[in-house]
Amino acid sequence: MSETQMTGAEMIVKALADQGVEFVFGYPGGAVLPIYDALFKTNSVRHILVRHEQGAVHSAEGYARSTGKVGVVLVTSGPGATNAVTGLTDALMDSIPIVCLTGQVATHLIGNDAFQEADTTGITRPCTKHNYLVKDVNQLARTIHEAFYVARTGRPGPVVVDLPKDIQLSLGTYAGPEKVSHRTYAPRMQGDTRAIEQAVELLANAKKPIFYSGGGVINSGDKASELLTKFVRMTGYPITNTLMGLGAYPASDKQFLGMLGMHGTYEANLAMHQCDVMLCVGARFDDRVTGRLDAFSPNSKKIHIDIDPSSVNKNVAVDVPIIGDVATVLEAMIDVWQKRSYKADPAALKQWWGQIGEWRARDCLAFRQEGAIIKPQYALQRLYELTKGQDTFITTEVGQHQMWAAQFMKFEKPNRWMTSGGLGTMGYGLPAAIGVQLAHPGKLVVDVAGEASILMNIQELSTAVQHRLPVKVFILNNQYMGMVRQWQELLHGGRYSESYTAALPDFVKLAEAFHAVGLRATKPEEMDDVIKEMMAVDRPVVVDVAVDQKENCYPMIPSGRAHYEMILADGDAQKQPTITDAGLALV
């Protein structure tokens, strides 16, 4: 047998090693047994056994988002593949590079409703960037390398490779990663020079400019964040980030206005509404960001940098689209700005910052910690204050706690914030934290959670314990699905239909049952000690923080309203915007 002849299963493991894969998140089953056998015989790739396939994908996402590398998943056919679908959709919506290997029944059984058969390529077609069914062992290695290439280049995304069991067992010729190219797929990196010049000129002549940056900056790599920071400081202009883009610009900087959008800051949303030139960098004008579209930033010229042409002019018509990689385009823009010795109009900029200062003075995130009940904002503020001295990675579940975390945890660097933005997947945070902790041993990784979300993938606590990953689960426990409750209060007359969880587990005992550590805080004065203890314990910890049940997350642009129509925590009740009938139909 020649050197490059091997079984399909051996090829898969070799291909992963050749791609530099450190971890595979997976769960075995009948249709992937040959691959697990090949994994057993090698030390080149470490397999992380999860407790549910959805957890495998979210763990791989956490790994990918905190490192910029491709996350790898291995699951069996049928239910293994269908359980992975939520994770794949999540990765597609948030543009996270994932390669998911799925087992499949033998080629001669496909279509026969065989045991644990599912039409995996059919099911995953709309929730992946691309997918493959390998029917020839000699195409197997090339296909896996191509899958990695497609997943990580351009706008990243999940790629599924479906692997029939007979292909895993048959002999074929291995091909290395160096031979991979694609005859049609070649994302564009360089932006159009004329568009870049036009954009920089617009920016230089702006009176009320704003940078609005998103997850594309983080996906483009560290250099993109550095260039963004450089460009923003060079111009002296204000910047806001989307939920996905937090960390791309240092949050402690005075030019940073905080997050924008539905639960964004007063100053960020009003600056977006009133700006005259908007530079959108790697963001996609999502409905959570824009509010009511026909009232979105009505008087601005809009420049949009995006690597994906389909993101441009999708929701909002822009004046200057620039298709290309964020870092490459920003570098070119900085170059034009410097070569032409552009300078911001100092008088106009002073006036603009004066206006922004007035909005800032509204102090829209202010809250009062009074009495014996812990405010959720207070819990997060203490978490931030006690952890800011070290390089901390935060993941979240989905809901009020997620928005408060986005408001109160400040990120100075990219890749420190992992949250399910597009799909809004409850149960994301704990498995994501596991992936982050594996990639960053010794670093503090905290999943900011709600008591409802955490129960969706609580089984992954067992994964954390098995692999000795000291992730911290920080539950803001208000006994309600808080965001559902908030919407029911605002939209449905306070009829809290099914949003109260009447039979919650004792999270401290639950942690202990998993052989993790459980802690609890019920009074404000306990907060600091509990957080410090959580940080001191080098094991998985679940912290149950009993918080105010009635607290709502503000500011809030109610659905169907525009950026200037925010509900504020301490706003005049008579003047707060209400939800229109049209808004009621929106999610």
Residue type, 146: E
Q: Point out the catalytic residue in the list 10, 53, 397, 565.
A: 53
Nearer to another protein, 226 or 319 (CB): 319
Helix ranges (H only) for 180-265 are 193-204, 215-220, 222-235
19 part of the active site: no
Q: Is 333 a catalytic residue?
A: no
Tokens encoding 280: 């959108």
Closest to another protein by CB, 130 vs 413, is: 130
Q: CB of residue 76 vs another protein: minimum separation in angstroms?
A: 21
Residue 27 in contact with residue 53, Cβ under 8 Å?
yes
Site residue total, another protein (CB under 8 A) = 23
CB of 439 to another protein, least distance (A): 28
The one-character DSSP state at 388 is: T
Q: Which is nearer to another protein, 13 or 147 (CB)?
A: 147
Among 300, 257, 265, which Cα is nearest to 280's? 300
Q: Choosing from 116, 139, 459, 549, which is the catalytic residue? A: 116
Judged by CB under 8 A, the residue of 2, 43, 184, 341 near another protein is: 184
To the nearest whole angstrom, how small is the minimum distance from the Cβ of residue 214 to another protein?
A: 18
| In the complex, minimum distance from the CB of residue 107 to another protein, in angstroms, rounded to a whole number | 12
**Residue 165 among the catalytic residues:** yes
Q: Pick from 22, 319, 345, 528: which binds another protein (CB under 8 A)?
A: 319
Among 22, 166, 308, 363, binds another protein (CB under 8 A): 308
For residue 378, the 8-state DSSP code is H
Told to check if 314 binds another protein by CB under 8 A, we report yes
Does 409 participate in catalysis according to the annotation?
no
* Beta carbons of 494 and 488 less than 8 angstroms apart: yes
Tell me the closest approach of the beta carbon of residue 407 to another protein, in angstroms. 32
What is the per-residue burial (b if ≥16 Cβ within 10 Å, else e) of 288-317? bbbbbeeebbeebbbbbbbbbeebbeeebe
DSSP at 118: -
Stretch that binds another protein, among 10-18, 307-315, 495-503, 507-515 (CB under 8 A): 307-315
The CA distance from 95 to 157, in Å, is 5
With b for 16 or more beta-carbon neighbours within 10 A and e for fewer, the 106-120 pattern comes to: bbeebeeebebbbeb
Residue 584 half-sphere exposure toward CB, CA atoms < 13 A: 10
Among 183, 254, 495, 575, binds another protein (CB under 8 A): 183
Kindly tell me which of 198 and 580 has the beta carbon lying closer to another protein. Answer: 198
CA–CA separation, 277 vs 205, rounded Å? 9
Task: Give the nearer residue to another protein in terms of CB position, either 143 or 213.
Answer: 143
Supply the minimum distance, in Å, between the C-beta of residue 272 and another protein. 19
411 is an active site residue: no
150 contributes a contact to another protein by CB under 8 A: yes
CB of 188 to another protein, least distance (A): 10
Residue 213 structure tokens: 């940056």
Tell me phi and psi for residue 168, to 5 degrees: -65, -30
Interatomic CA distance for residues 460 and 57, integer angstroms: 12
Which tokens belong to 268? 């960020």
- Member of 20, 111, 309, 371 binding another protein (CB under 8 A): 309
- Please pick, among 69, 129, 165, 302, the residue that the annotation labels catalytic: 165
320 in contact with another protein (CB under 8 A): yes
Catalytic option among 259, 426, 483, 534: 483
Question: What is the dihedral angle through the alpha carbons of 242, 246, 249, 251, rounded to the nearest 10 degrees?
Answer: 110
What is residue 518's three-state secondary structure? strand
312 lies in the site for another protein, by CB under 8 A: yes
Is 192 or 222 the residue whose CB approaches another protein more closely?
192
Q: Determine the Cα–Cα distance for residues 382 and 408; give it in Å rounded to an integer.
A: 9
- Closest CB to another protein among residues 129, 382: 129
Backbone dihedral angles phi then psi of residue 330, each to the nearest 5 degrees: -60, -40
Give the C-alpha separation, 338 to 261, whole Å: 32
- Of the pair 130, 223, the CB lying nearest another protein is at 130
CA distance 419 to 282: 17
**Residue 305 is a binding residue for another protein (CB under 8 A):** no
The interface region with another protein, picked from 38-46, 183-191, 278-286, 431-439 by CB under 8 A, is 183-191
Residue 312 CB, shortest distance to another protein, in Å, is 7
Residue 333 Cβ vs another protein, minimum distance, rounded to whole Å:
18
Write out the binding residues for another protein, residues 93-132 only, by CB under 8 A. Answer: 121-122, 125-126, 129-130
- Cβ atoms of 61 and 87 within 8 Å: the answer is yes
DSSP 170-194: SEEE---GGG---SS-----SPPHH
Q: Please say which residue, 310 or 497, places its beta carbon nearer to another protein.
A: 310
Q: How far apart are CB 126 and another protein at their closest, in Å? A: 5
Backbone angles phi, psi at 307, to 5 degrees: -80, -15
Closer to another protein at the Cβ: 41 or 183?
Answer: 183
User: Does residue 185 belong to the site contacting another protein (CB under 8 A)?
Assistant: yes
Give me the residues paired with residue 349 across strands: none
Structure tokens given for 242: 């989307």
* Run of H or E residues at 99: strand 98-104
Choice from 293, 317, 361, 582 touching another protein (CB under 8 A): 317
Residues near another protein (CB under 8 A) = 121-122, 125-126, 129-130, 133, 150, 182-185, 308-310, 312-314, 317-321
Residues annotated as part of the active site: 53, 115-116, 165, 483
